[in-house]
Structure 1
Amino acid sequence: MNVESFNLDHRAVAAPYLRIADRKVLPAGDVIVKYDVRFAQPNVAHLEMPTIHSLEHLFAEKSRNHSDRVIDFSPMGCQTGFYLILQGDHSYEEVEALVAASLGDVLEATEVPAANEVQCGWGANHTLEGAQQAARDFLARRDEWGQVFA
């Protein structure tokens, strides 16, 4: 299939993990890399939408304090994780450090950025506490991030 994740056996993975999901070289030679940042075990657990929404806002804002190569941080429709898209090639250690630092910032946040009806399409659909708990849980298992398959 054309979509990389549709070719991934979701029964064989063991969340949480961090993996390269795609790498593209654009016509002008620029490289973009998409990372699968998987918080929950597919078909077993998921994150609630207010948690996902708040993590998206927080990570998108905070990660840019650590790297000018962040293109996007988007939630997966299955509610089990996110796609982090970066410009250029990076070592696993660099991406892991970026994710850890950004989630560390989530833990220190006192509010969800842009969680209002002026800056967000559903400003009431947020939970700082939920985002912080998901970040805390993911960070607590950092030693497992490199192990994608059970």
Structure 2
Amino acid sequence: MAEVESFKLDHTKVKAPYVRLAGRFLTPRGDVVEKYDLRLAQPNREALATAPLHTLEHLLAGLIRDQLPGVIDLSPMGCRTGFYLTVLGPLSPERVLEAFRRALEGVLLAEKIPGASEKECGNHQDHDLQGAKAWAQRVLEAGLRLQESVYL
């Protein structure tokens, strides 16, 4: 089985909330693709409930694109502690951190959830705008920081 970068990360030594460059790849055409770990919750200590996480995914999908060029995807982590952001780079971790902070500030201003109807969403009943705002506020108050990769 292929190695997975996140399975080599020592989850006991990282300090959420943070932004971490989790990988940089060069495509056969010479494009740089970067993967960022946008961590909201401390691994193995807490996790986001699915409804606020789902709502954050819907909100951040657009808000992060407003802040950064070349966003390929924003996906929630299966452990429910944050998101993976994939971008056409290269970008700097500092730039991604600032964009993530601004996107979280945008979550606080949201009055509705984009793409949350039955036609637009595969689980449209599992959303929580107030819970998403509470997580955004919590992360902003704690302060985002850059995290180096700490491997096993």
Shorter-chain TM-score tier: over 0.9
How much is the aligned-residue C-alpha RMSD, in angstroms?
1.6
Which runs of no fewer than 5 residues in structure 1 stay unpaired? none
CA-to-aligned-CA distance 1:71-121 (integer Å, 9 cap, x gap) = 111000001111011111112221111101111111111011011110000
Structure 1 segments of 4 or more deviating over 4 A?
Answer: 147-150
Residue 138 of structure 1 and its aligned partner are, at CA, apart by 1.1
Q: Is the 8 A contact 2:9 2:149 kept in 1?
A: no
Distance in 2, matches of 1:97 and 1:4, equals: 24
Question: Normalising to structure 2: TM-score of the pair?
Answer: 0.92
Residue 112 (structure 1) aligned with residue 142 (structure 2): no
1:145 alignment partner AA: R
Which runs of no fewer than 5 residues in structure 2 stay unpaired? none
Distance in 2, matches of 1:2 and 1:147, equals: 21
Q: Is the 8 A contact 1:66 1:98 kept in 2?
A: yes
Question: Normalising to structure 1: TM-score of the pair?
Answer: 0.93
2:136 alignment partner AA: A
Distance in 2, matches of 1:8 and 1:133, equals: 27
Q: Is the 8 A contact 1:14 1:149 kept in 2?
A: no
Distance in 2, matches of 1:26 and 1:44, equals: 36
Distance in 1, matches of 2:147 and 2:73, equals: 24
Specify the alignment match of 1:77 in structure 2. 78
